[in-house]
Structure 1
Amino acid sequence: MANLPILQFEEKILDTVERNPVVVIIGETGSGKSTQLSQMLHKRGYTKSGIIAVTQPRRVAAVSVSRRVAQELGVRLGEEVGYAIRFEDRTSEKTRIKYLTDGVLLRESLTNPELNQYSVIILDEAHERSLNTDILLGLMKRLVKIRTSNLKVLITSATLDGEKVSRFFSNCPVLNVPGKLFPVEILYSTERPSSYLEASLKTAIDIHVREPEGDVLIFMTGQDDIEKLVLKLEERIQRLEEGSCMDAIVLPLHGSLPPEMQVRVFSPPPLNCRRFIVATNIAETSLTVDGVVYVIDSGYVKQRQYNPSTGMYSLDVVQISRVQADQRAGRAGRTRPGKCYRLYPSMVYHDELLDATVPEIQRSSLAGSVLYLKSLDLTDIDILKFDLLDPPSSESLEDALKQLYLIDAIDENGSITRVGRTMAELPLEPSLSRTLMEANECGCLSQALTVAAMLSAETTLLPGRSKSNEKKRKHAPSELPDGSGWGDHIQLLQIYEHWDQTDYDIDWCKDNSLQVRGMMFVKDVRKQLCQIMQKIGNGSLDVRTNERRKESRQDYRNLRKALCVGYANQLAERMIRHNGYRTSGFKSQLVQVHPSSVLRADEEGMLPNYVVYHELIATSRPYMRNVCTVEMPWVAPILKKLEKLNIKKLSGGSSHSEERIEVENINLPKKEVDVAVPTDDRDSRVQAARERFLARKANR
């Protein structure tokens, strides 16, 4: 710890913080900013007037960094040093340094808008430009001006454009802290490999056989690729001639790993043993793994992107930015000179890669963020003009406002409703929050809590639903409940109820190929959601957490009705001629039910007329995932709200014009209708042109 570069700048940092409410600190990889800044401020006495909060964009980082700081201070984790992430809080009244995800800090500001419990707020890893961090940057700009008690805000990053952030915060000071980096030799491929997984495997084995000791960090795009490469690496290493090279262990690193697996990555390897760490981009900056000498950079990252014109998410493998490539390379020079093997030509790095990653706020659905801002009741905020470092498109904001209006979170004037305020208190996406509100009215809150918990699982729970198996198996195994023909939400409820009846037997999960850790996580989340709902309802809500009974058809019907209200923006009508569904509102996308769905057709092979879906995704074609059938009487109120929308009023902005945006309605069924009218050619051309424009914009 004594050799960390940031310690040499301690007095300069503390002096600058003392004289300025906002300071930007650019600390290169290996500088020690994530662990040492909070300790410096603690020693200087800032924790006497409040807690030091350090936000992290990732759950894994919040946990691991807090553990490291507690260890360095010689205190028990959860006491003087603690962490808070969604559905897990390891803090106490003694806590003076608190690591938390940016989303948790946003939730805390709902109950205490001035965040008076904190004397210092450090927004760490701001270069990742997570959606929540960007919202926090906008709120901090406002908060430092209005808070009565003294507040210090530090924005820290490895690669952030410090001058840009400085201008955003009225030209606040920028400090640069060099990292402790040794030279890193960059080795490019002559051409793009046909398979970056196979190229990574070959490069890793070549390093193991030919290069001196030192751990190898391999960047892959996601959990599926990581698991495949880990297996292939283990097989190849075992086939190497005994004594030809040192021993090796292969370790995965991604956000869905259980804590005990994460800890293995940060423990030193056995003597004369090389570690291969196969990781997502979580290892670029959020986490530092000591001992890495060789880095293999595939040049890709998996990125979730939302298209507001279609309401569709896509999980795309895209090229990394130059900033990300430099961060990855820097991981090889932490302990001694290293090497970075880039599995792409140098021309790709210089000519094709973007300078920096597109901020998440410009590629995400903003419904949850807009609901949060509305719930703050800040009269000076017009949602369409909220001050952000990189504003999202007006189309994205309009899409969010329409979503919230359709699920009753805001009224026709853009004011947050009583229902919306309650939704904002729940750590769920708006559709699930609204479903719980309606379920309480329908008398099926217990069932809705189970479904919300199941859909909040961080990993895929069911067999046959991972991407690698989607083409092999179209339905869940027959021994699992099938949703009684009503769809996936009902199936999720039935699966949990079956598990409940076995007294949460882990062997039952294993026998049915259910993900054990994921199911245990669901159980814990459901318990916490029960507690939150009881708190919101002052103990009056009908949660029935301990009652075990067989669900009735009426329970299923009530739950489906609640889902219809919660997913009002995600309603689809069956198009008979086109063998698919048309999604609601102004989104005229034609989609299919995902092959993994258990939604059942009738005797004539026809699917239900109306369904709601949890997510719309683009893979080989547009698909609805987690689909549930709903009834026409529940749909009618949604169609009325879809008739006309005034975006100016919904945003909270004042306007004398009565400009209205017309939206395409789902047609009410007529008694003898058997063919739906397709969207006309002009609408199709306009839609196609808009999607081409968004694609070009995303590639800039």
Structure 2
Amino acid sequence: MATLPIVQYEEKIIETVENNSIVVIIGETGSGKSTQLSQMLHRRGYSKIAVTQPRRVAAVSVARRVAQELGVQLGEEVGYAIRFEDRTSRNTRIKYLTDGVLLRESLADPELNDYSVIILDEAHERSLNTDILMGLMKRLVKLRSSNLKVLITSATLDGDKVSKFFRDCPVLNIPGKLFPVEVLYSKERPVNYLDTALKTALDIHVRQPEGDILIFMTGQDDIEKLVSKLEDEVRSLDEGSCMDAIIFPLHGSLPPELQVRVFNPPPPNCRRIIVATNIAETSLTVDGVVYVIDSGYVKQRQYNPSSRMYSLEVVQISKVQANQRAGRAGRTRPGKCYRLYPSQLYHDEFLDVTVPEIQRSSLAGSVLYLKSLDLPDIDILKFDFLDSPSSESLQDALKQLYLIDAIDENGAITSIGRKMAELPLEPSLSRTLMEANNYGCITEALTVAAMLSTETALLPGQSKTEKKRKRPLSNLPDGFGLGDHIQLLQIYERWYQTDYDIGWCKDHGLQVGIIMYSGISMIKCIHL
């Protein structure tokens, strides 16, 4: 802890926080902001500190790290709260939670009186919930100026822009602890970035000195394909020709107990190869990573207000994301970043920063949340966002809510809308559950809603997997031709009939974690 750069700035940070309601802290990669800020404030007597993270895995892993550093049991003095999991107690003084969980807490307590400090960490990711929280914090510090401190922290955020948004609040810049990283570009963009990543990883493993490898891919399907190919190739290497390798996937759909495996050090004479989505860009620090392979792509959800449909698209990352990925290689010693794209492409075509989620998402859920707060000084169409969404998106959200009776013709929230806002679901799914309850099919609707709230449970077949299957995918229920929703319900009920046999899921090409999560979601929703 003493070697982290942020520790040297503790007195300056505390002095600035004590004299200002809002402070922006730009902490470069490796500065220690995610783990140390909360501890500094805790030592100075702030009663309860909330630290938001855009991702569940980051909230869990950082909370574990802070509890370990303080020598306390996780869930007591230090805890975390994510969707459907709360490891906190009355004794909790430092609480890591997702930005969505903090928003839901504000439904019951709009002034968030339980907290003396709220830290919005990794704000540069510009998640939809974090952007809404920034707008709410701007209002909240007026109401609680005497007993609330707000810190906006990031590695790459435009500090001046955020400072201006918060009426010229102070900005502190904390240098990071980053070793030199050699960036190596491809001569041309590969036709198949998965195969190129495989070849690059094997070349590093066979020819380069010890050090773990982190590979950035776009999503779960690509990750599982690459992990499978890497395992086959590593097994085929001549024994003794190089060190051993242990290969881990890392993505948001993995159960928490599988996500935390990547933080365990490898056995002697063995390197880790971690194949991850962009959740490994920030917050998560995997000690020992020396080599990074950057595909140059990320999977993003894009919402079209005209069609009212989402599409999941593979798009180029921004320069900010590329630099974050490269920085993962220089945390413990000098490293190398292999970019699977030419330097000219990076300089000429990559966007400088990532498009904020609020400008590419449906705002129906966010608008319903804001209306449920019953704050007379908030005008939805003029809400103070750091980057405003289009008027078309806001109007689309209001129209959607009106069509499902969540708001009336004057835009006021209805009693139905208030009930919908209490459920941690998209408004359309919340409305579905309410109707299902009236028609006596709530159990079936809960199953469908839970499965629709996760990533797809059906994975595309792979040739290797197909050979292992005892029964083909065609044996799965087809929904009687009534659509995907009925098929999802039938699949879950078929799994229930097997007494939740995990082997049945694997045999039929189903994502076990998703199916199990759906069951948990259903149980939790019943208790709401």
Q: Quick one: structure 1 residues 272 and 6, their matched pair in 2 at CA, closer, same or farther if it must change by over 3 Å?
A: same
**1:330 and 2:307 aligned:** no
* CA displacement 1:420-456 (0-9 Å, x = unmatched): 0110010011011011112222222232222222222
Q: Quick one: structure 1 residues 508 and 339, their matched pair in 2 at CA, closer, same or farther if it must change by over 3 Å?
A: closer
Match of 1:29 in 2: 29
* CA displacement 1:596-649 (0-9 Å, x = unmatched): xxxxxxxxxxxxxxxxxxxxxxxxxxxxxxxxxxxxxxxxxxxxxxxxxxxxxx
Assess if the C-alpha contact under 8 Å between 1:58 and 1:286 holds in 2.
no
* CA displacement 1:229-261 (0-9 Å, x = unmatched): 112222222222222221111111111112222
Q: How does 1:588-627 map to 2 (within 5 A)?
A: none
Match of 1:694 in 2: none
Tell me, what secondary structure is at the counterpart of 2:116?
A: strand
Tell me, what secondary structure is at the counterpart of 2:527?
A: helix
Assess if the C-alpha contact under 8 Å between 2:21 and 2:145 holds in 1.
no
Match of 1:491 in 2: 487
Q: Quick one: structure 1 residues 52 and 467, their matched pair in 2 at CA, closer, same or farther if it must change by over 3 Å?
A: farther
Assess if the C-alpha contact under 8 Å between 2:363 and 2:394 holds in 1.
yes
Assess if the C-alpha contact under 8 Å between 2:123 and 2:154 holds in 1.
yes
**1:385 and 2:382 aligned:** yes
Assess if the C-alpha contact under 8 Å between 2:461 and 2:509 holds in 1.
no
Q: Quick one: structure 1 residues 347 and 477, their matched pair in 2 at CA, closer, same or farther if it must change by over 3 Å?
A: closer
**1:144 and 2:141 aligned:** yes
Deviation of 1:490 after TM superposition, in Å, equals: 2.7
TM normalised by structure 1 equals: 0.72
Counterpart residue identity of residue 13, structure 1: I
Match of 2:358 in 1: 361
Q: Quick one: structure 1 residues 238 and 443, their matched pair in 2 at CA, closer, same or farther if it must change by over 3 Å?
A: closer
Match of 1:43 in 2: 43
RMSD of equivalent CA atoms:
1.8
Assess if the C-alpha contact under 8 Å between 1:216 and 1:294 holds in 2.
yes
Deviation of 1:278 after TM superposition, in Å, equals: 1.1
Q: Quick one: structure 1 residues 496 and 350, their matched pair in 2 at CA, closer, same or farther if it must change by over 3 Å?
A: closer
Tell me, what secondary structure is at the counterpart of 2:75?
A: coil
Match of 2:253 in 1: 256
2:99 maps to which of 95, 98, 102: 102
Deviation of 1:149 after TM superposition, in Å, equals: 5.4
Match of 2:523 in 1: 527
* C-alpha separation in 2, matches of 1:151 and 1:436: 37
Q: Quick one: structure 1 residues 181 and 17, their matched pair in 2 at CA, closer, same or farther if it must change by over 3 Å?
A: same
**Comparing 58-67 and 375-384, the one that deviates more:** 375-384
Tell me, what secondary structure is at the counterpart of 2:164?
A: helix
* C-alpha separation in 2, matches of 1:209 and 1:485: 51
Deviation of 1:273 after TM superposition, in Å, equals: 1.1
Counterpart residue identity of residue 529, structure 1: C
Assess if the C-alpha contact under 8 Å between 2:372 and 2:421 holds in 1.
yes
**1:4 and 2:1 aligned:** no
Deviation of 1:216 after TM superposition, in Å, equals: 1.2
* C-alpha separation in 1, matches of 2:456 and 2:119: 33
**1:451 and 2:448 aligned:** yes
Counterpart residue identity of residue 42, structure 1: H
* C-alpha separation in 1, matches of 2:218 and 2:488: 28
Q: How does 1:339-418 map to 2 (within 5 A)?
A: 339-418=336-415
Counterpart residue identity of residue 211, structure 1: Q
Counterpart residue identity of residue 33, structure 1: K
Q: Quick one: structure 1 residues 498 and 244, their matched pair in 2 at CA, closer, same or farther if it must change by over 3 Å?
A: closer
Match of 1:192 in 2: 189
Deviation of 1:200 after TM superposition, in Å, equals: 1.2
* CA displacement 1:23-69 (0-9 Å, x = unmatched): 0000111111111111111111102xxx2100000011111111111
Assess if the C-alpha contact under 8 Å between 1:460 and 1:466 holds in 2.
no
Q: How does 1:477-488 map to 2 (within 5 A)?
A: 477=473, 479-488=475-484
Q: Quick one: structure 1 residues 295 and 508, their matched pair in 2 at CA, closer, same or farther if it must change by over 3 Å?
A: closer
5+ residue gaps in structure 2?
Answer: 467-471
Q: Quick one: structure 1 residues 511 and 221, their matched pair in 2 at CA, closer, same or farther if it must change by over 3 Å?
A: closer
Tell me, what secondary structure is at the counterpart of 2:30?
A: coil
Match of 2:430 in 1: 433
Q: Quick one: structure 1 residues 435 and 512, their matched pair in 2 at CA, closer, same or farther if it must change by over 3 Å?
A: same
* C-alpha separation in 2, matches of 1:300 and 1:498: 37
* C-alpha separation in 2, matches of 1:76 and 1:273: 31
Deviation of 1:318 after TM superposition, in Å, equals: 1.1
Deviation of 1:468 after TM superposition, in Å, equals: 6.5
Tell me, what secondary structure is at the counterpart of 1:414?
A: coil
Q: Quick one: structure 1 residues 416 and 26, their matched pair in 2 at CA, closer, same or farther if it must change by over 3 Å?
A: same
**Comparing 492-501 and 157-166, the one that deviates more:** 492-501
Deviation of 1:105 after TM superposition, in Å, equals: 0.5
2:86 maps to which of 86, 89, 101: 89
Larger Rg: 1
Assess if the C-alpha contact under 8 Å between 1:116 and 1:149 holds in 2.
no
Match of 2:469 in 1: none
Counterpart residue identity of residue 460, structure 1: T
* CA displacement 1:453-473 (0-9 Å, x = unmatched): 22223x4324xx54879xx9x
Match of 2:512 in 1: 516
Q: Quick one: structure 1 residues 399 and 468, their matched pair in 2 at CA, closer, same or farther if it must change by over 3 Å?
A: farther
Assess if the C-alpha contact under 8 Å between 1:82 and 1:95 holds in 2.
yes
Assess if the C-alpha contact under 8 Å between 1:26 and 1:159 holds in 2.
yes
* C-alpha separation in 2, matches of 1:512 and 1:295: 34
Match of 2:179 in 1: 182
Q: How does 1:277-296 map to 2 (within 5 A)?
A: 277-296=274-293
* C-alpha separation in 2, matches of 1:152 and 1:62: 20
Match of 1:168 in 2: 165
Match of 1:685 in 2: none
Counterpart residue identity of residue 491, structure 2: I
**1:16 and 2:13 aligned:** no
Q: Quick one: structure 1 residues 61 and 390, their matched pair in 2 at CA, closer, same or farther if it must change by over 3 Å?
A: same
Match of 1:73 in 2: 70
Q: Quick one: structure 1 residues 78 and 194, their matched pair in 2 at CA, closer, same or farther if it must change by over 3 Å?
A: same
* C-alpha separation in 2, matches of 1:418 and 1:45: 42
Tell me, what secondary structure is at the counterpart of 1:392?
A: coil
**Percent sequence identity over matched residues?**
80
Assess if the C-alpha contact under 8 Å between 1:453 and 1:523 holds in 2.
yes
Assess if the C-alpha contact under 8 Å between 2:460 and 2:509 holds in 1.
no
Q: How does 1:191-210 map to 2 (within 5 A)?
A: 191-210=188-207
Q: Quick one: structure 1 residues 43 and 83, their matched pair in 2 at CA, closer, same or farther if it must change by over 3 Å?
A: same
Q: Quick one: structure 1 residues 40 and 406, their matched pair in 2 at CA, closer, same or farther if it must change by over 3 Å?
A: same
Tell me, what secondary structure is at the counterpart of 1:46?
A: coil
Deviation of 1:344 after TM superposition, in Å, equals: 1.3
Q: Quick one: structure 1 residues 71 and 407, their matched pair in 2 at CA, closer, same or farther if it must change by over 3 Å?
A: same
Assess if the C-alpha contact under 8 Å between 1:102 and 1:132 holds in 2.
yes
TM normalised by structure 2 equals: 0.95
- Number of residue equivalences: 521
Assess if the C-alpha contact under 8 Å between 2:181 and 2:336 holds in 1.
yes
* CA displacement 1:274-327 (0-9 Å, x = unmatched): 211111111111311111111111111111111112222221111111111111
Counterpart residue identity of residue 182, structure 1: F
* C-alpha separation in 2, matches of 1:352 and 1:368: 33
Deviation of 1:140 after TM superposition, in Å, equals: 0.3
Q: How does 1:270-309 map to 2 (within 5 A)?
A: 270-309=267-306
Assess if the C-alpha contact under 8 Å between 1:55 and 1:105 holds in 2.
yes
**Comparing 502-511 and 310-319, the one that deviates more:** 502-511
Assess if the C-alpha contact under 8 Å between 2:120 and 2:152 holds in 1.
yes
**Comparing 418-427 and 291-300, the one that deviates more:** 291-300
